[in-house]
Amino acid sequence: MNTNVFSTAKAFRLIGTFAFILAIVSVLTSILTYLPIDPDFSIFTTYLSDIGDTPVWPQVILNTGAILVAPVRYAVIALLVLRLRSFSTNKKSFEVAVLTIGAMSTIGTVLMTAVPFSTAPAVHKSGIGLYFLGVVFLQMVIGVKEASTKGLPRILPVLSFTVVASFILFLILFILYQMGYVGRTTPVFWEWMCFFTSTGWLVGHSIILGNENIGKSEI
């Protein structure tokens, strides 16, 4: 019996849970510091990036949290690759694709959060592109793999494709806003949905793939 599979499951659960808690705490804390500045805050009218571009504490807390989460999230992706080996033999192309796209998305996160739009719009926008497109392709590849792997609960690919749908909808609406076809607030809710589905993905995968008994029969 390969006990390494069990330790990988435990590591996945611990790091995935830590990433979730860190993301939630940083966003909630940044909202609390943002409310005195904008009492009309709403997930239907206020972008997460608005909070990240608000001077002093809202910006510091949200952007610092995002930068800290980025490498932890990449560790989750690496552990996901290892964890899926307990269900089937991963093709090298799958692992290379996931780790490469994940790295691009991580770099995009750092660029997007470390450099606010008001400071350097071009750098900020390039970070947005790397992050959002990276997440779309990453979750699509993971979702297809999960859907085609025997022994995995069907909720896992559903969570992955839900992330893909949220990010695509936000990207489309944001592009339409940039082109002047929709109002500024139209994409706002879907940016928050990107956050909610991403954290939901973390919770679901941490619980299921963090269970050492899942996939044990495949060892």
Q: According to the model, what pLDDT value does residue 114 have? A: 75
What percent of the chain is modeled with pLDDT above 90?
64
The residue extents of the domains of the chain are: 4-218
Q: According to the model, what pLDDT value does residue 150 have? A: 86
Q: Which residues of 101-127 are buried (b: 16+ CB within 10 A; e: fewer)?
A: bbbbbbbbbbbbbbbbbeeeeeebebb
What percent of the chain is modeled with pLDDT above 70?
93
Q: According to the model, what pLDDT value does residue 216 have? A: 55
pLDDT beyond 90 at 184: yes
Does the model's pTM come out above 0.85? yes
Lowest mean pLDDT among 38-42, 44-48, 85-89, 183-187: 85-89
Q: Are 197 and 163 in contact (CB under 8 A)?
A: yes
pLDDT beyond 70 at 76: yes
196-215 mean pLDDT:
90
122-139 mean pLDDT:
87
211 compared with 25, residue with greater pLDDT = 25
Half-sphere exposure of 131 (CA within 13 A, CB side): 25
The C-alpha atoms of residue 149 and residue 117 are separated, in whole angstroms, by 41
